[in-house]
């Protein structure tokens, strides 16, 4: 796998940095409260890659959606992602001490705060999407986010993950693909299609892009868990391998996992061919996802 420095990521890197700055500024405005709960919510969102929020902003730009609508949806998906990480890090779940190179929320505060900050981040995501600025397709976005993140989406993926840990046998490739599709794929799909949905356009090309991207993202994550540097990744690595957990790397081998990630990246880019040069940044995002070192 090439490293991020080998490839031409400059416009993407700039677009991502710009997205991070805009989402963070909007978050600080929207979550300006001075109490501990607001502080915890801000802490949970701060410092993330904000790839999902970037996908929302880019797909919105591609479809001519007003920036003031797109930013609400971009912050909303980052709130959902942040809440899932805060709850996932809890002692009764993955029991992680480190996230993005910082103490996890229950380490910085305590478990009760982590439960409540996670809960209110989820609530806040739906509050943002119900803002009149989001426009005429807000309900479709809300319904989609609920379906992607709840009992038939992300949370069901977390349940499958827990069930896999307690089961005797490691997962098959088919099972792990299903699990990851729910756990991370659903939210990536929602993010990449959000712009099309807000514009009332056909979300099919972006859905195809997102399906390939989501899987490539997870394969890259498993490769990072084997090859990554904890200091750069910002969280513990080699946890899965040490736990004897089935991953794309353990099932496919490192070389085949890298080849699979590359072909998914090509597939993701091909899905955007009808957008021509307008989709250059999203195509670079796909290349970044499989080349990242954190």
Nearer to a copy of itself, 43 or 83 (CB): 83
Is the separation of the CB atoms in 145 and 125 below 8 Å?
yes
| Min separation Cβ 25 and a copy of itself, Å | 19
| Min separation Cβ 193 and a copy of itself, Å | 16
| Min separation Cβ 190 and a copy of itself, Å | 12
| Min separation Cβ 81 and a copy of itself, Å | 13
Nearer to a copy of itself, 61 or 245 (CB): 245
Nearer to a copy of itself, 42 or 292 (CB): 42
| Min separation Cβ 185 and a copy of itself, Å | 17
| Min separation Cβ 93 and a copy of itself, Å | 5
Residues that bind a copy of itself (CB under 8 A): 31, 33, 35-38, 41, 83, 87, 90, 92-93, 110-112, 115-116, 118-120, 122-124, 126-127, 129-132, 138-139, 142-143, 145-147, 149-152, 155-156, 158-159, 162-163
Place of tokens 């892009």: 209
Nearer to a copy of itself, 9 or 120 (CB): 120
Nearer to a copy of itself, 29 or 162 (CB): 162
Nearer to a copy of itself, 87 or 287 (CB): 87
């Amino acid at each position: 796998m090439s490293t991020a420095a080998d490839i031409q990521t400059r416009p993407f890197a700039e677009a991502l940095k710009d997205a991070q700055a805009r989402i963070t500024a909007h978050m600080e405005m929207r979550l300006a409260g001075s109490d501990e709960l607001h502080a915890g919510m801000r802490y949970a969102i701060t410092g993330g890659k904000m790839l999902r929020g970037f996908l929302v902003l880019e797909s919105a730009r591609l479809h001519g959606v007003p920036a003031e609508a797109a930013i609400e949806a971009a912050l909303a998906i980052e709130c959902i992602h942040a809440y899932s990480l805060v709850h996932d890090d809890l002692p009764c779940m993955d029991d992680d001490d480190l996230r993005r190179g910082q103490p996890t929320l229950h380490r910085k505060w305590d478990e009760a705060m982590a439960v409540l900050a996670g809960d209110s981040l989820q609530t806040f995501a739906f509050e943002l999407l119900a803002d009149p600025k989001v426009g005429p397709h807000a309900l479709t976005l809300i319904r989609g986010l609920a379906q992607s993140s709840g009992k038939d989406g992300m949370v069901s993926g977390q349940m499958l993950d827990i069930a896999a840990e307690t089961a005797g046998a490691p997962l098959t490739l088919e099972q792990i693909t299903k699990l990851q599709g729910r756990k991370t794929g659903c939210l990536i799909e929602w993010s990449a299609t959000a712009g099309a949905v807000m514009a009332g356009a056909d979300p099919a090309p972006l859905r195809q892009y997102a399906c390939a991207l989501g899987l490539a993202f997870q394969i890259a994550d498993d490769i990072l868990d084997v090859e990554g540097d904890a200091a750069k990744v910002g969280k513990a690595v080699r946890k899965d391998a040490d736990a004897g957990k089935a991953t794309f790397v353990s099932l496919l081998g490192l070389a085949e996992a890298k080849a699979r990630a590359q072909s998914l990246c090509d597939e993701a880019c091909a899905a955007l061919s009808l957008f021509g040069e307008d989709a250059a940044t999203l195509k670079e995002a796909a290349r970044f996802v499989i080349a990242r070192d954190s």
